[in-house]
Structure 1
Amino acid sequence: MASHKPPPPPPSPLMADNTNTNTNTNINSNSGEDKLIAVARHIAKTLGRTETMTDDILQIFSTFDGRFSREKLSDKVDADDPTAYAAFENALKSLDRRISHYVSSDHPIWYDSSDSAAFLDAIDELVATVRDWDHMSGDKPVAACLDRAEDLLQQAMFRLEDEFRLLIERSGEAFDLNQLNHHHHHHHKNNYSFDSDDQEGDDDEANFDEDEQSIPVARPLSDYDIVIDALPAGTISDLHGMAKRMVAAGFGKECAHVYSSCRRDFLEESVSRLGLQKLSIEDVQKMAWTDVEDEIERWAKAANVALRILFPSERRLCDRIFFGLSSAADLSFMEVCRGSTIQLLNFADAVAIGSRSPERLFKILDVFETLRDLMSEFESVFSDQYCAFLRNEAVTIWKRLGEAIRGIFMELENLIRRDPAKAAVPGGGRHPITRYVMNYLRAACGSRQTLEQVFNDNGVDYHRNADNPERALSSTSLSVQISWIMELLESNLEAKSKMYRDTALSSVFLMNNGRYIVQKVKDSELASLLGDDWIRKHTAKVRQCHTNYQRSSWGKVLAVLKLDSSSLAANGLAKSLRDKLKIFNSSFDELCRVQSNWVIEDDQLRMELQISVAGNLLPAYRSFLGRLQSAAELGRNAEKHIKYSLEDIEARTNGLFQGNGRK
């Protein structure tokens, strides 16, 4: 660190002596006063490292004693005094020699603290000299000297700029933040195929990091409390000394520029060591989505490290080097961070404006949540006026990600609406769309809080059920959105059920899908979003399908077994019983044959249905057989007409809905 010459002893004793002398001896000779003023001026100049400090000290002197008036004390020179002008020229010659010696030096001046101190002193004197003569610039010879002085100052500044750059480059080093094992969260599944139920377990997150050596193990968030000291303290105080001179000489912008061009390289190198590629928005949009997913992992990590560690460390460094020069500090900081920040924000923007296909939801949620959680960092680190545009851009892109998420839900709606009602599922089983939508919504509700934030912030009215005000009032926008999707799914399934020629099979189809939907809702966050009434209403719908199935399928068979007096004319009792039995046998046969190919996917539901079919059929069949056997005309021959015993009937009904023909 450059050590500057120690200041002369404080002025107070000197002031006291002089004052006493003057009061006691009453020296009013001109020469005595001149000397006194010269001493005061010298003290002010020596103590005052900058223009404002010198002015302040002179101000203090003038309050001590009326004779130290500002006019007398300020170094303003009388143009008519040829000796003063000669002094200006001599001072300039001597400064020229001292400064040129350093400006033309082959060695870095800041290698030696006495050199750097002497160089800065010479610059200070030059700036003060120019300031003292500036009011005389109307005088030709003075103007010529001032031009020379300005040239000399400019050379000194160019050299100072080089020294400044050299000092930063010599001391700075980019950080490899991969060594900071840092917090890194996966709250979403990696496998987004929603048409299967295989991934309901939570054990498939274990293999996330296996082959990604670049992504360190998760650590708690407190790891972001690291502060990087990018440059040693001594270097910082040297740079501060240089920056102060450059700003005083009117070279503040150049100083900020050279500072930021050096630090920007270090910062960008540090960011690239986090594994982040430099990608334009177009590059991201051309990438395969799986590659974008990998990039999102790296991006989230880099964004956290940049905003929580790198940028605050740069801010701190700027504030120390440009201490007291806030405008230069702010400008420098913005120029250092702008490139990296825009790189981070552009990536998020590319994700936000990309395709809205539903499987992208989970990674887009990651990006949304990362930006949301960094918002306070954006606000604090980019709080000054130069950085306002970066702060605003971050908010804009974060909002755009919210729009993308809402757009994905609309895309999901379109996907359901467009799913054609053509080929019905054989056997009336669960439809892939049901599986897809329910597993999708369950996975999405893992981010319920974020989604509620997205749907409540949206400015668009998602209460499309305006005709149902109670429902809109009692629920969040997210639950309205989810119940709207459920409604679309139901009407889509209704349309699909009409594709079956057999109305009983339509009921089986609706039962399968309805039961699946209710169960998926019950064992997830969807239950609290849709509410108990919804679950009750849809459980009742499944029961209604059950009833419809019984009626349309087994109603006719049961009607055959009815033994009302009109159908059993006394004269042909035996014949009509025999005919009825024949009709029953063939319809029962046919129904069992067909319905053993139908499928009920839920074991419990299948059992309930089998039991209820048997429960309706067996009592009617038992009483029919009783009647048949008691018909006197048939006598013992009754047995040979009976194809199925009660046990047979029960066994056959237990074979229903197994989907046997499909296996």
Structure 2
Amino acid sequence: MEHLIRTRDLLKTTLHQSTQLDFQIHQTTTNISRINHTIHSSKSHITNIACKSAIHHHLHLALPPVSAVFKVYQVVDELGNLLSDHPPPDLHHHLSLLKRFQQALTLLTNTSNLAIIWVQDIKQFLNTSDNFYHYNVSKTLNLLHELNGYEQRCYLKHGILRVAFENLKDEFTNLLITNSFPLQVPSTLFSSGDDESDVFDSLPEALPSSVVQNLQAIVACFACNNIDTCMQVYIKVRGKIVEKSLEGLDLDYLEISLTEFDSVQVIEGYIDEWGRHLEFVVKHLLELEYTLCEHVFGQHVDTWTDCFSKIALHSRIQSFIKFGNTVTKGKKEAIKLFKLLDIFAVLNDLRPDFNGIFGGKPCSEIQSQTRDLIKKVVNGACEIFRDLSAQVELQRLTDPPPDGTVPRLVTFVTEYANELLDDDYRPQLEQVLKIHSSWQNDNNFTKGVFSVQVKSIVKSLELNLEIWAKRYEDVSLSYIFLMNTSYYLSKNLNGTKLGDLMGESWLKRHEGYVEYYTTLYLKESWGKIPAMLSNNDRNRITGFNDAFDDVYRKQSGWVVCDKSLRWKTCQLIMEVIVPVYKTIVESGSTHSPNKYVKYSVESIENMLTSMFRSKLDKYGNSIKSTSLMGKIKNVVAGR
């Protein structure tokens, strides 16, 4: 009884499938001689048994499922013959045949399972001594078992399904290879990046839509069997396309390594290239592959994200991350702050793209490596920025310029600060400081922290100037030094971002220092000389000559950096010396003036107006022709 209940349930399950194939069954005109012979033979023997035994009812119930098995097999055999065409004239029709063939195989297996149960029940009721009937029932049962295993055999080597899927794999590969082409590299990647005429307005189509549809259909067919087969082919073909897309770029620099003792200047020229190349890889190349991967394998989320993660490795994305880490490993120096901010700007701009295409679990390693790089960049930039004031203080151990000129550190610090305050860097640095503060759970962070730190750097510089001025043995030279530096700070910073930050009162104060130190310089250097002309005729001229020669000789190597300030200073000296000297020289009160007069009035004027020039041109040219980064290098090198 239990067997009958199981048989009834299985029969209901297969009834629906039998109905679906009823149309194909009735259309089948090909008869297989061995199957027909077995059907008639089995029917004859089973009918004879039914007439002679008590299991007549069971035998009549077994005949329909047995007959159905052989009819289904006829459909399976016909569909199998149609699948042998390769390459298929119509891919979608071929895939439809394959799907129907698989459905027919499933129905064959289920129907044979039902028939086997009925025939096994019959066999149990037969008398083993009735060899003739027992033999024929066993023969029928063996044939049913053979048909029951037909579906499994189709997947074995040289089986119909195995061959069909191999053919589909070849078709999948051919579609990819013949329609995949490398992405053209924009010309901007070979220049400074200022010319954007060649940048993509929108992503090009990776593959024609008709090809994508065919790939989708093949993937859907493989989905119930072994989709990894399609993935392996896809990764291999598209991975090579990604590699070919990058062949035009020289990416060897990505493998450069630095130690903590190496200057970032060694690789600074590659950092801008790195940013442009990474943007191309992420925003264009990988975005294209991400979209295509989703279209082809989109119905299988885990599959297509894993597929994309493997293709992404062909873009050398991890080498790009490695290069960023290389920059963070370099020596801690002023120039490195700008380079870290450049890297942060690139990563920050690409953050939505990174989150979009690398957001899946299969890309977790890339996510982790990127987060680690951002952490190193942020920490490194904050450390350098907050240490700048201390670095300026360390320069107090050095000596001031021997000619009283503006120290390189002054020009460097002011232009460095102006660069930090520029719109290209200030927003980035403020964001970096904010991120770092959030990591430190510092709830007191404000944007004012940035301004306070910059002001602190300038104040450290001002203190340096005071300390350096005291190191001059000649007080007059210390006044020239302070006059030069105050003039530079008041005039060169006026109208700049740093000048605006320090404030108008700060600029006015340094402007006043120029007048103050100029007055002190004149009094200390030249103020006592006119008094010497009040002595007797001989002594006042010879005394003047000696004093003038001494001061002029000492100051012949001194420099006043600004042309207008130099001219003004020389005019003030002439106002102190020339009128008195001219009166004495041209006066007839001397017994023999020409005997003691060493210089004519014109010579004195020429000598005074030519002062403070010896190094000015060289200094001025260097200021005009040297970029900020060049000055940083000179300061670091001590030149």
Which range, TM-score by smaller chain?
0.5 to 0.7
SS of corresponding position for 1:227: coil
- 2:231 touches 2:307 (CA, 8 Å); kept in 1? yes
Given candidates 597, 601, 611, the residue that maps to 1:656 is 611
Letter in 2 for 1:506: S
Q: Measure, in 2, the Cα distance between the counterparts of 1:639 and 1:400.
A: 78
Matched, 1:610 2:588: no
Other-structure match for 1:301: 276
Other-structure match for 1:57: none
The TM-score normalised by the length of structure 2 is 0.66
1:113-134 Cα offsets, whole Å, 9 max, x none, are 6545433432354467678999
Q: Measure, in 1, the Cα distance between the counterparts of 2:581 and 2:282.
A: 80
Matched, 1:487 2:459: yes
Given candidates 532, 552, 565, the residue that maps to 1:592 is 552
Q: Measure, in 2, the Cα distance between the counterparts of 1:508 and 1:136.
A: 114
Matched, 1:267 2:242: yes
- 1:293 touches 1:363 (CA, 8 Å); kept in 2? yes
After superposition, where does 1:377-392 map in structure 2 within 5 Å? 377-387=353-363, 390-391=366-367
Q: Measure, in 2, the Cα distance between the counterparts of 1:83 and 1:359.
A: 89
Matched, 1:376 2:376: no
Other-structure match for 1:454: 429
After superposition, where does 1:33-432 map in structure 2 within 5 Å? 41-42=19-20, 84=65, 95=76, 114-126=93-105, 149-150=151-152, 152-153=154-155, 156=161, 159=166, 162-163=169-170, 165-178=172-185, 180-182=186-188, 186=192, 218-220=195-197, 223-249=199-225, 251-253=226-228, 255-277=230-252, 279-280=254-255, 282=257, 292-293=267-268, 295-340=270-315, 341-359=317-335, 364-387=340-363, 390-391=366-367, 393-394=369-370, 396-409=372-385, 416-419=392-395, 421-422=397-398, 424-432=400-408
Matched, 1:515 2:494: no
Other-structure match for 2:621: none
SS of corresponding position for 1:425: coil
SS of corresponding position for 2:473: coil
1:146-181 Cα offsets, whole Å, 9 max, x none, are 776456457647637733652354334231413x44
Q: Measure, in 2, the Cα distance between the counterparts of 1:262 and 1:225.
A: 26
Q: Measure, in 2, the Cα distance between the counterparts of 1:330 and 1:493.
A: 61
- 1:356 touches 1:411 (CA, 8 Å); kept in 2? no
- 2:183 touches 2:285 (CA, 8 Å); kept in 1? no
In structure 2, the CA distance between the partners of 1:651 and 1:85, relative to structure 1 (3 Å rule), is same
What is the CA distance between 1:604 and its match in structure 2? 0.9
Q: Which moved more, 1:408-417 or 1:397-406?
A: 408-417
SS of corresponding position for 2:506: helix
- 1:338 touches 1:390 (CA, 8 Å); kept in 2? no
Matched, 1:548 2:520: yes
In structure 2, the CA distance between the partners of 1:589 and 1:276, relative to structure 1 (3 Å rule), is closer
What is the CA distance between 1:87 and its match in structure 2? 5.1
Structure 2, unaligned runs of 5 or more? 1-7, 25-60, 121-140, 439-443, 619-639
Q: Measure, in 1, the Cα distance between the counterparts of 2:490 and 2:306.
A: 59
Letter in 1 for 2:329: I
In structure 2, the CA distance between the partners of 1:132 and 1:374, relative to structure 1 (3 Å rule), is farther
In structure 2, the CA distance between the partners of 1:293 and 1:614, relative to structure 1 (3 Å rule), is closer
SS of corresponding position for 1:656: coil
In structure 2, the CA distance between the partners of 1:637 and 1:224, relative to structure 1 (3 Å rule), is same
1:610-656 Cα offsets, whole Å, 9 max, x none, are 2333445568x589979xx9xxxx97659689858887765554343
- 2:219 touches 2:297 (CA, 8 Å); kept in 1? yes
- 2:68 touches 2:111 (CA, 8 Å); kept in 1? no
Q: Measure, in 1, the Cα distance between the counterparts of 2:616 and 2:415.
A: 28
What is the CA distance between 1:42 and its match in structure 2? 1.4
Q: Measure, in 2, the Cα distance between the counterparts of 1:540 and 1:391.
A: 57
Q: Measure, in 2, the Cα distance between the counterparts of 1:290 and 1:527.
A: 29
What is the CA distance between 1:502 and its match in structure 2? 0.4
Other-structure match for 2:44: none
1:570-600 Cα offsets, whole Å, 9 max, x none, are xxxx77x987776555334422332233221
1:58-91 Cα offsets, whole Å, 9 max, x none, are xxxxxxxxxxxxxxxxxxxxxx968647856885
Letter in 1 for 2:612: F
Letter in 2 for 1:496: W
1:327-374 Cα offsets, whole Å, 9 max, x none, are 333332233224423233333333333344444555555443333322
Letter in 2 for 1:121: R
Q: Measure, in 2, the Cα distance between the counterparts of 1:99 and 1:290.
A: 69
In structure 2, the CA distance between the partners of 1:439 and 1:423, relative to structure 1 (3 Å rule), is same
In structure 2, the CA distance between the partners of 1:380 and 1:456, relative to structure 1 (3 Å rule), is closer
Q: Measure, in 1, the Cα distance between the counterparts of 2:261 and 2:526.
A: 58
What is the CA distance between 1:307 and its match in structure 2? 2.4
- 2:263 touches 2:330 (CA, 8 Å); kept in 1? no
Other-structure match for 1:506: 478
Q: Measure, in 2, the Cα distance between the counterparts of 1:95 and 1:39.
A: 14
Letter in 1 for 2:407: H
SS of corresponding position for 2:403: helix
Larger Rg: 2
In structure 2, the CA distance between the partners of 1:267 and 1:461, relative to structure 1 (3 Å rule), is closer
- 1:442 touches 1:520 (CA, 8 Å); kept in 2? no
Aligned residues: 537
The TM-score normalised by the length of structure 1 is 0.64
What is the CA distance between 1:440 and its match in structure 2? 4.4
- 1:307 touches 1:378 (CA, 8 Å); kept in 2? yes
Q: Measure, in 2, the Cα distance between the counterparts of 1:286 and 1:547.
A: 48
Structure 1, unaligned runs of 5 or more? 1-29, 47-79, 188-216, 463-468, 564-573
Q: Measure, in 2, the Cα distance between the counterparts of 1:308 and 1:615.
A: 69
Letter in 2 for 1:371: L
SS of corresponding position for 1:454: helix
In structure 2, the CA distance between the partners of 1:286 and 1:476, relative to structure 1 (3 Å rule), is closer
Over the residues paired in the alignment, what is the CA RMSD in angstroms? Answer: 5.3
In structure 2, the CA distance between the partners of 1:610 and 1:558, relative to structure 1 (3 Å rule), is same
Q: Measure, in 1, the Cα distance between the counterparts of 2:584 and 2:457.
A: 52
SS of corresponding position for 2:200: helix
In structure 2, the CA distance between the partners of 1:483 and 1:241, relative to structure 1 (3 Å rule), is same
What is the CA distance between 1:108 and its match in structure 2? 5.3
1:421-478 Cα offsets, whole Å, 9 max, x none, are 5555332223333344445445555x5343332234324579xxxxxx9xx98x7444
Letter in 1 for 2:562: D
Q: Measure, in 2, the Cα distance between the counterparts of 1:530 and 1:586.
A: 46
SS of corresponding position for 1:224: coil
Q: Using the aligned pairs only, state the percent identity.
A: 20
- 2:389 touches 2:460 (CA, 8 Å); kept in 1? yes
What is the CA distance between 1:236 and its match in structure 2? 1.9
What is the CA distance between 1:296 and its match in structure 2? 3.8
In structure 2, the CA distance between the partners of 1:320 and 1:656, relative to structure 1 (3 Å rule), is closer
Q: Which moved more, 1:112-121 or 1:586-595?
A: 112-121
